[in-house]
């Protein structure tokens, strides 16, 4: 998972989509670990959810920029 917001902004659309898939998989793994009682730091789940939201925001902003450039 990419570290900072600035790192994410530099990624291409394809890389962002790959990062989103990896982060969603990480969220799934955390949910399973939480359900089985193996997750000690539950704050990780919130961090991963915020990371997913950041990636989705960047993807959408790139889509909007591409649409505006096409006009």
Three-class DSSP labels, 22-53:
HHHHHHHHHHHHHHCCCCCCCHHHHHHHHHHH
Task: Give the percent of the chain with pLDDT over 90.
Answer: 83
Q: What is the pLDDT of residue 4?
A: 62
Contact 34, 45 (CB under 8 A): yes
What letter does residue 2 receive in the DSSP assignment? -
User: pTM for this structure?
Assistant: 0.86
Give the model confidence (pLDDT) of 12-40 as tens digits. 999 999 999 999 999 999 999 999 999 99
Average pLDDT, the chain: 92
Q: Are 5 and 54 in contact (CB under 8 A)?
A: yes
């Amino acid at each position: 998972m990419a570290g900072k917001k600035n790192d994410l902004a530099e990624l291409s659309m394809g890389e962002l989509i790959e990062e989103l898939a990896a982060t969603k998989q990480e969220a799934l793994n955390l949910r399973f670990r939480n359900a089985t009682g193996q997750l000690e730091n539950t704050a990780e789940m919130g961090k991963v959810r915020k990371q997913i939201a950041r990636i989705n925001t960047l993807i959408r902003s790139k889509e909007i920029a591409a649409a505006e450039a096409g006009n």
